[in-house]
């Protein structure tokens, strides 16, 4: 979570703007998606139910919350 927070805060906290699903825009208008490994792992899991839960969790977020993604992957 620390690395995600560092990148997110560097972009959003420096004149940028938050958007959905880990996306943000920097002060020059360039869009970025901060995609942590835990999200990539969940979205590429061989179990379609895990992928669906991770995707559904991501859709409720702005900045990706690692703990919430891990919980969704486990079905919690």
Distance CA 54, CA 51 (A): 5
Domain architecture of the chain: domains with CATH: 2-74 (3.10.180.10)
pTM of the model: 0.89
Distance CA 33, CA 48 (A): 23
> Looking at residue 54, what is its pLDDT?
99
> Which residues have C-beta within 8 Å of that of residue 71, sequence separation ≥ 6?
57
Average pLDDT score over residue span 23-30: 98
> Looking at residue 44, what is its pLDDT?
98
Confidence of residue 16 (pLDDT cuts 50, 70, 90): very high
> Looking at residue 56, what is its pLDDT?
98
């Amino acid at each position: 979570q620390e690395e995600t927070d560092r990148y997110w805060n560097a972009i959003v906290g420096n004149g940028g703007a938050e958007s959905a699903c880990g996306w943000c825009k920097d002060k020059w208008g360039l869009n970025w998606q901060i995609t942590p490994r835990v999200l990539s792992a969940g979205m590429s899991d061989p179990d379609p139910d895990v992928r669906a839960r991770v995707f559904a969790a991501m859709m409720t977020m702005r900045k990706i919350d690692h703990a919430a993604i891990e919980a969704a992957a486990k079905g919690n």
